[in-house]
Amino acid sequence: MKAAIKAIRNREMGSYKASRFFKVPQTTLERYVKDQQKNSSETVKTKLGRKQVLRCEAENDVAEHCLLMERKFFGLTMADVMRLAYQLAVRNEIKNKFFKRNERAGRKWLKNFLGCNPQISVRNPESLSLSRARGFTPESVAQFF
Residue pLDDT, tens place only, 19-51:
999 998 998 888 888 876 666 666 666 666 667
Taking the C-alpha atoms of residue 117 and residue 94, their distance in angstroms, rounded to an integer, is 21
Taking the C-alpha atoms of residue 96 and residue 59, their distance in angstroms, rounded to an integer, is 14
> What pLDDT does 64 receive?
92
Number of C-beta neighbours around residue 71 at 10 A? 8
